Amino acid sequence: MFGWFKKQSTPATRADEPVTSTVIETQDLVKRYGDVVAVDHLNLRLEQGEIFGLLGPNGAGKTTTILMLMGLTEPTAGSVRVLGYDPVRQPIAVKRVVGYLPEHVALYDDLSARENLLYTADLNGLPLAEAKQRIAYALERVGLAEVADRPVREFSHGMRQRLGIADVLVKKPRVVILDEPTLGLDPEAVNQLLDLILAMTREENLTVLLSSHQLQQVQRICTRVGIFVKGKMIAQGTIAQLAEQLAGGMRTLEVHAEPRGAELVELLKQIKGVVSVEQDTAYWLVRATAEVRPEIARAIAARGWSLYHLRERDYGLEEIYLKYFQT
Amino acid sequence: MHGLLAVYRKELADHLGSRRFVILAILICLAGLSSVYVAAQSIRAEISDARNAFLLLFTTASGPLPTFITFISFLGPLVGLALAFDTINGEQNRGTLSRLLAQPIYRDAVINGKFLAALVTVAIMLASIFVIVSALGILTIAVLPSPEELGRVLGFLIVCILYVGFWVALATMFSVLFRQTTTAALAGIAAWIFFTFFVTMITDTLANAFVTLDTLFDPQAMLEWEMWRQNLARLAPSTLFQEATIALLMPKVRTLGPILVRDLIGMLPNPLPLHESLVLIWPQVTGLLALTAVCFAIAYIRFMTQEIRSL
């Protein structure tokens, strides 16, 4: 707190960090604002090299979680470790290795892109020569080298977002936390940004935590996702795992055949393994515990009926999202 | 320490390159030049005793133009307010504060660095203006200042910086207390108008409340009334500044309170030496420093304990 009097501990040499592949770990993390529980017993674990998507609707507590990881706000209960450091007690050590891009990337409009990054480098205590080199690299990396000396106020939203990424890269982080990085970007800019995040994660051997409420967008680059609703992590894993978890061992088939009335339902229900048949917008939705498509096809053909559509529905992130967020 | 220096360097560069700094510097410089030039003209016309002619440059009013001191006491607060009214809330509104605090620096480095940068900006501005104005004065009256006079003007400069420093601290406090920069600016201007124009009226009224002056001539009550009025007025930084500068620039001022006739008996009307004048204004300077410290402490504590979400 009293930066005036405390001598800054010399930047931690990477050697004195605890040897572990776990980068971020929280245990029963709780944050309350008065009566409101923003984060409720969160257990999160990120391994080295992951891109973890923290997905949830607005107001789910994603930003609060991120602020606690950064040591910018104190947890009410529970513990956090970032690369073995405790953000409550060693916030400076955490901030030295974690790059954070806030939800609304804010830069100094009157300064040029380069000057903005120079300030960040200065705040991180980088020597000038190294800072310049690092900044040139970062600007090149995000494709802003040509406009480096233009004032930021002339930048588009997408350019600002990329400059924000460059800003994070300047300090040579080991962990990057991005809060809603794709917010307000057009689809092309989103793809550009995600490609950039993916490439930089590999090149710099980073671990990335990104939060978003637009999971269709980020699903492409996340190795793992966590669904975060009302302060609770209700599911986490790879997208395939989530889909399986959601389906609960059940398969869902879409069927469209003529005639499509009660006789068809009756026929489908007789097939072994079929649990239920429901009306969907255009199809009958058949839930089954096993692969029943050949049986369905045969049964319909045997009656001389016409089969127009038979498909197993797989759970994309969207279904997962809707399913979990509705609960 | 590197965090503080980084913030300080960036803020200082911002201030020195900003339009408001340039505008205010030009404004004060022109006001100072005109008042000193006019003062020099009138000194030249009626000078008989060259002693302290240099100091007279700053304290002589001529025609419609007020003295240099008056200009500084009037425009100085404006400089302090203009430099600092959006210190913290400006960063909040732009959203740059959370990015700044996510860097490996202590939180107080932000507010300390910004305050220090504003103070140094004020010092640079005032020192430059003093040099320019003094040069014009010396050229016009063709009298070189004595070391004693230089010391007094240097003291005057330091008191000016302290005074503007108070306004920087006050504006910083408002910028932490109010989320809107316009609110903070208005609060600052309200305080400025209050201390500049209304303090005298209010202290008179309050003194009346404490001491009733009868229609009959009552020296005891009058003295008491005057003491009340003066001590109440001394709560205002503008009063402290005026008393300190007058004692510094007019060596013949030997006391800042009421003088009784019996005190004058046998008194030699000699100017005080510099160190005696300094002793005389020591309480005023301490008072200014204390007010500054209080404002900055409020800003500091509030800034350090705020939830980041509300920042």
Walk along chain B (311 residues) and give the pLDDT tens digit of each residue: 788 999 999 999 999 999 999 999 999 999 999 998 888 888 887 765 657 788 888 888 877 888 899 889 989 999 999 999 999 999 988 888 888 999 999 999 999 999 999 999 999 999 999 999 999 988 888 888 889 999 999 999 999 999 999 999 999 999 999 999 999 999 999 999 999 888 888 888 888 888 877 766 778 888 888 888 888 889 999 999 999 999 999 888 888 888 777 877 877 778 888 888 899 999 999 999 999 999 999 999 999 988 776 65
State which of A212, A237, A262 marks the end of a domain. Answer: A237
The pLDDT score that the predictor gives to residue A10 is 43
At CB < 8 Å, which residues of chain A contact B? 1-4, 6-8, 33, 64, 67, 70, 72-73, 92-93, 95-96, 98, 100-102, 104-110, 119-120, 122-125, 167, 171
B277 by Cβ neighbours in 10 Å (0-12 / 13-18 / 19+) ranks as buried
Query: Judging by DSSP bridges, how do beta strands A51-55 and A224-229 pair with one another?
Result: parallel
Partner-chain contact A109 B7, CB within 8 Å:
no
What are the chain B neighbours of A102 within 8 Å (beta carbons)? 95, 98-99, 102
Please give the Cα distance from B232 to B235 (Å, whole number). 6
Please give the Cα distance from A266 to A255 (Å, whole number). 13
Q: Which residues pair with A27 in a beta bridge?
A: A79
Tell me, yes or no, whether A168 and A283 share the same domain.
Answer: no
Indicate the SS3 state at residue B198.
helix
Please give the Cα distance from B106 to A103 (Å, whole number). 22
Tell me, yes or no, whether A32 and A149 share the same domain.
Answer: yes
Indicate the SS3 state at residue B146.
coil
Tell me, yes or no, whether A254 and A202 share the same domain.
Answer: no
Residue of A2, A106, A120 lying closest to B94 (CB–CB): A106
Q: Does B297 reach chain A within 8 Å, measured CB to CB?
A: no
What backbone phi and psi angles, to 5 degrees, belong to A73? -145, 150
Please give the Cα distance from A101 to A226 (Å, whole number). 19
Q: By C-alpha distance, which of B248, B242, B196, B249 is closest to B59?
A: B249
Q: Which residues contact B137 (CB under 8 A, 6 or more apart)?
A: B36, B37, B39, B40, B54, B57
Tell me, yes or no, whether A213 and A301 share the same domain.
Answer: no
| Tokens encoding B147 | 């070391």
Q: Is residue A4 part of a domain?
A: no
Q: Which residues contact B224 (CB under 8 A, 6 or more apart)?
A: B211
The pLDDT score that the predictor gives to residue A13 is 43
Residue of B14, B96, B106 lying closest to A1 (CB–CB): B106
What are the chain A neighbours of B7 within 8 Å (beta carbons)? 123
CA distance A153 to chain B (A): 12
Tell me, yes or no, whether A213 and A287 share the same domain.
Answer: no
Provide the 8-state DSSP code for A152. Answer: G
Tell me, yes or no, whether A85 and A165 share the same domain.
Answer: yes
Maximum CA pair distance of chain B?
Answer: 70
Partner-chain contact B95 A106, CB within 8 Å:
yes
Q: Does B14 reach chain A within 8 Å, measured CB to CB?
A: yes
A100 by Cβ neighbours in 10 Å (0-12 / 13-18 / 19+) ranks as buried
Radius of gyration, alpha carbons of chain B = 22
ipTM confidence score: 0.84
CA distance A198 to chain B (A): 22
The pLDDT score that the predictor gives to residue A279 is 83
What are the chain A neighbours of B101 within 8 Å (beta carbons)? 72
The pLDDT score that the predictor gives to residue A18 is 47
Number of domains in chain A: 2
Partner-chain contact B4 A4, CB within 8 Å:
yes
Packing angle, helices B237-249 and B68-84, rounded to 10: 140
H/E stretch holding A313 reads: strand A306-313
Packing angle, helices B107-141 and B19-46, rounded to 10: 30
Are residues A205 and A49 in contact, defined by beta-carbon separation less than 8 angstroms?
Answer: yes
Tell me, yes or no, whether A181 and A221 share the same domain.
Answer: yes
Q: Does B109 reach chain A within 8 Å, measured CB to CB?
A: yes
The nearest alpha carbon in chain A to B17 belongs to A110
Tell me, yes or no, whether A288 and A151 share the same domain.
Answer: no
Q: Is residue A323 part of a domain?
A: no
Alpha helices in chain B (DSSP H): 2-17, 19-46, 53-59, 68-84, 89-94, 96-101, 107-141, 147-177, 181-193, 199-210, 219-233, 237-249, 261-264, 274-305
The pLDDT score that the predictor gives to residue A237 is 86
Q: Is residue A6 part of a domain?
A: no
Tell me, yes or no, whether A100 and A210 share the same domain.
Answer: yes
Q: Which residues pair with A29 in a beta bridge?
A: A42
Are residues A277 and A252 in contact, defined by beta-carbon separation less than 8 angstroms?
Answer: no
The pLDDT score that the predictor gives to residue B48 is 59
CA distances from A165 to A105, A138, A139, A183, A193 (A): 9, 8, 9, 14, 9
Packing angle, helices B68-84 and B19-46, rounded to 10: 170
Residues 128-157 of B with CB under 8 A from A: none
Tell me, yes or no, whether A176 and A287 share the same domain.
Answer: no
A230: CATH: 3.40.50.300
The pLDDT score that the predictor gives to residue B215 is 66
**Residue ranges making up the domain that contains A306:** 248-315
pTM (predicted TM-score): 0.84
Please give the Cα distance from A68 to A74 (Å, whole number). 6
Q: Does B197 reach chain A within 8 Å, measured CB to CB?
A: no
| Tokens encoding A203 | 């090149």
| Tokens encoding B299 | 């800003």
Q: By C-alpha distance, which of A101, A92, A29 is closest to A61?
A: A29
The pLDDT score that the predictor gives to residue A326 is 61
Q: Which residues contact A221 (CB under 8 A, 6 or more apart)?
A: A51, A194, A197, A198
Number of domains in chain B: 1
Please give the Cα distance from B220 to A299 (Å, whole number). 119
Partner-chain contact A125 B104, CB within 8 Å:
yes
H/E stretch holding A122 reads: helix A113-123
Q: Is residue A176 part of a domain?
A: yes
Q: Is residue A242 part of a domain?
A: no
| Tokens encoding B51 | 């002693």
Best interface-test mutation with A: which of B99, B304, B308 has the largest number of A CBs within 10 A?
B99
The nearest alpha carbon in chain A to B93 belongs to A106
**Residue ranges making up the domain that contains B180:** 2-310
Please give the Cα distance from B246 to B241 (Å, whole number). 8
- For chain A, which ranges sit under pLDDT 70? 1-20, 246, 248-249, 315-318, 320-321, 324-327
Partner-chain contact A95 B304, CB within 8 Å:
no
Partner-chain contact B95 A8, CB within 8 Å:
no
Tell me, yes or no, whether A34 and A158 share the same domain.
Answer: yes
State which of A171, A205, A237 marks the end of a domain. Answer: A237
Packing angle, helices B107-141 and B2-17, rounded to 10: 40
pLDDT tens digits for A210-222?
998 877 777 788 8
State which of A237, A257, A286 marks the end of a domain. Answer: A237
